[in-house]
Amino acid sequence: NRALAVFGSLHSYAIGIGAIEDRQSPAKGIERFKEVSRERFLTPEELQRLGSALLKAETLGIEWQVKAPRKTQKHLPKMRTSTIIDPGAAAALRLLILTGCRLREVLRLEWSQINFHAGMITLPDSKTGRKQVFLNQPAIALLDDLDRMSAFVFPGRDLKTPRHDLKRPWAA
């Protein structure tokens, strides 16, 4: 199915730039395989483990092993053996879990888009267009506990832009 989609797209592009003449796509009429959508939710046990890991990551830190130095190694390994993630990153990860929003929807979230009285977030331009996300009590409590230092709920380093990503905290 993906190969047919790519081939059809390439065919349309080639017609658009004039590389080939306009004719019916060779991919047209080929029967596609039936696709089954996959939807999976975390089990209560998985949610418990994830919550415990987040709490540990923002308080004690996630431990990691220092590799033994090699003879050809130029620098000594770092002595720190744990990584502590910042509370903002942990809160963003929790909000992702509690709302089911996409990563960019949470990272670019502005305080003006949150209506605490109605218990909802209004996203003016998400991937699927204008969208409203209803907040449960834990999500409202989480947002209510955050500092309002910027227009963004999860600001970047300069406070004028949103946080860029959550790759390192999630990897930890």
Task: Say which residue the tokens 């991937």 belong to.
Answer: 127
Question: How high is the pLDDT of residue 67?
Answer: 66
At residue 78, does pLDDT exceed 90? no
Q: Nearest-CA neighbor of 106 among 119, 128, 89, 118?
A: 89
pTM for this entry: 0.72
At residue 64, does pLDDT exceed 80? no
**What angle in degrees, to the nearest 10, is found between the helix axes of 87-99 and 44-59?**
170
Centroid of chain to Cα 13: 31
Question: How high is the pLDDT of residue 68?
Answer: 67
Give the tens place of pLDDT for each residue, 23-42: 787 778 888 899 888 888 88
